[in-house]
Structure 1
């Protein structure tokens, strides 16, 4: 079983969506963790957009990366530039570290339709990226 950490700034949106897809794609072949260098709580719009694709992340929690300092990760995946640039040292012997800066839908201001479109765009980008990740590494 592989240990996978998805890291973002606040562990509220992009990392939570990635966590949901990774759990769905890997089944019992991996233990998925998501964390932030801060915690901002779970973004309700992220929960809603994932539910539209049949994935329930409503039970997820927003966690600090330090909570997982004793886990030896196989993969550490940063999903925003801020987390990638400010991530504390994570002691994992042979972890493959990958970074992709995903569009942040939580920063979009506008109508509910515009916000929905932003979360849909981010969700689909995350789903595609992590589908490819699974095909490459699992």
Structure 2
């Protein structure tokens, strides 16, 4: 599979999954132009910031954005991480030219329990995304 020169990661709120995937991709594949967006506007997630910081990746200053807020929408590949994002992007693909890949990724924000249990859920999401990003984009 050919490595694209540009990729957009999309989830529902651009608060957890897509920013995590994008940050990991920037770290693993600096030769690829990477952005992230959500179908709906979200708020920064402190657990996502914390688990990426554990891996040496800082996303503390990023601001969630929607697909509509992107200045540049010409990507070789759009990776969707949530069902609602996938459906939305498939609609866009009817009028624009880009490849779409769906990576079903569980939303760790639905986890209930102690702080430690919630962090474990976020770490599992981070680790799953890290594995997929490395398999897809690392040279």
What TM-score do the two structures reach when normalised by structure 2? Answer: 0.88
Unaligned residue ranges in structure 2 (runs of 5+): none
Contact 1:74 1:92 in 2 (8 A): no
Contact 2:39 2:84 in 1 (8 A): no
Q: Does 1:75 align with 2:77?
A: yes
Once residues 2 and 92 of structure 1 are traced to their aligned partners in structure 2, the CA distance between those partners, rounded to angstroms, is 17
Unaligned residue ranges in structure 1 (runs of 5+): none
- State the 1:70 CA deviation: 4.4
- 1:20 aligned residue (5, 19, 23): 23
Equivalences, count: 134
Once residues 53 and 71 of structure 2 are traced to their aligned partners in structure 1, the CA distance between those partners, rounded to angstroms, is 30
Residues 82-119 of structure 1: CA deviation (Å, up to 9, x unaligned):
211234515542x2210011111111011011101101
Contact 1:71 1:92 in 2 (8 A): no
- State the 1:59 CA deviation: 1.8
Q: Which residue is equivalent to 2:7? A: 4
RMSD value over aligned CA atoms? 1.7
> Which of structure 1's runs of 4+ aligned residues deviate more than 3 A?
none
Secondary structure of residue in 2 paired with 1:4: strand
- State the 1:66 CA deviation: 1.4
- State the 1:48 CA deviation: 0.3
Q: Which residue is equivalent to 2:130? A: 127
